[in-house]
């Protein structure tokens, strides 16, 4: 389960936000993820990436065993467990770091909880069969993400009446469902789901109005790293999106993001430290 220290940080960050922003480093152990597919499928290379992220002051490592990019192929429960759980066990036995498991399968969640995961990061917001029940039997933290549609089809002409209000209403419903299932609200983190069933215009409206998600009184995660919303705007290939990713992450933090989910940990930590230094200086002058 997530350590009491980390849970406290996640919650108190709504009050002392900037000093408690956490960097979540992405570790995809998949052959087909949109940015780093195939880079860390081997156990040793994955552990080396973990060490690198820890050296660069990551706060949470987010392990994903199934790609959720548009058009991604489904992965069986057993294949996902084989990809994720041995790595989780190795990390928890060797390092003092919080680990999140990026999954929408109840069976994978159960295994992850058994072997010491600190957070479940679910793009389906615990809507799949058995997920609520598995998580309710633990005291693990959970990130609930908004997605319109399913990964294979989510980018086929997504439409909203009012995208911010639609996402907020989705969160209200999922929070209520979690609480009725025995999952305390204090365990929840929200993710508006950049790139998941949203056009480029939708994504930038979500970023521009990110502060509105704080009205629900929960920590909010921003995952913009290397996404197509950056590539499409700047006409940059996936490996040329660092500057755009950093800019978008800082905009989200300035509007209250408590966690930024990133591929480039060192650069993201550096950017956050600059923002903190400027903010602290301004506070001294005020």
d(CA 42, CA 83): 9
Q: What DSSP string runs through 242-256?
A: HHHHHHHHHHHHHTT
Catalytic entry in 174, 187, 226, 227: 227
Is 227 one of the annotated active-site residues of the chain? yes
Q: Is the dihedral of CA 86, 26, 12, 141 positive or negative?
A: negative
Query: Strand 22-28 to strand 259-262: parallel, antiparallel, or no bridges (unpaired)?
Result: parallel
Beta strand residue intervals within 29-154, DSSP E: 60-64, 98-102, 119-122, 141-145
Report the C-alpha gap between 240 and 220 in whole angstroms: 26
Burial of 275 (0-12, 13-18, 19+ CB in 10 A): middle
Burial 53-64 (b: 16+ CB within 10 A, else e): bbebebbbbbbb
Q: How far apart are CA 202 and CA 45, in angstroms?
A: 36
> Residues 254-265, buried b or exposed e (16+ Cβ, 10 A)?
ebbbbbbbbbbb
Record the tokens describing residue 283, joined without a space.
């506070």
Residues with catalytic annotation?
Answer: 227, 261
């Amino acid at each position: 389960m997530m350590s009491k220290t980390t849970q406290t940080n996640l919650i108190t960050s709504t009050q002392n936000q900037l000093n408690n922003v956490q960097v979540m480093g992405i570790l995809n152990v998949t052959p087909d993820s949109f940015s780093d597919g195939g880079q860390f499928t081997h156990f040793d290379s994955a552990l080396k990436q973990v060490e690198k992220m820890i050296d660069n002051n990551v706060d949470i490592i987010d392990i994903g065993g199934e790609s959720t990019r548009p058009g991604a192929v489904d992965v069986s429960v057993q294949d996902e467990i084989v990809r994720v759980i041995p790595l989780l066990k190795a990390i928890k036995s060797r390092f003092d770091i919080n680990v999140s498991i990026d999954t929408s399968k109840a069976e994978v969640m159960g295994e992850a909880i058994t072997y010491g995961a600190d957070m479940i990061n679910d793009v389906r917001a615990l809507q799949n069969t058995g997920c609520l029940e598995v998580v309710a039997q633990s005291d693990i933290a959970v990130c609930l993400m908004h997605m319109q549609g399913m990964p294979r089809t989510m980018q086929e002409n997504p439409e909203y009446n009012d995208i911010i209000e639609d996402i907020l209403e989705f969160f209200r419903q999922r929070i209520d469902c979690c609480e009725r299932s025995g999952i305390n609200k204090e365990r929840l983190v929200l993710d508006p789901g950049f790139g998941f069933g949203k056009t480029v215009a939708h994504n930038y409206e979500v970023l521009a109005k990110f502060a509105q998600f704080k009205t629900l009184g929960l920590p909010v995660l921003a995952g913009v790293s290397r996404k197509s919303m950056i590539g499409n705007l700047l006409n940059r290939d996936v490996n040329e999106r660092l500057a755009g990713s950093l800019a978008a992450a800082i905009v989200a933090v300035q509007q209250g993001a408590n966690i930024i989910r990133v591929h480039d940990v060192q650069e993201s930590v550096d950017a956050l430290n600059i923002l903190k230094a400027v903010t602290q200086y301004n506070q001294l002058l005020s």
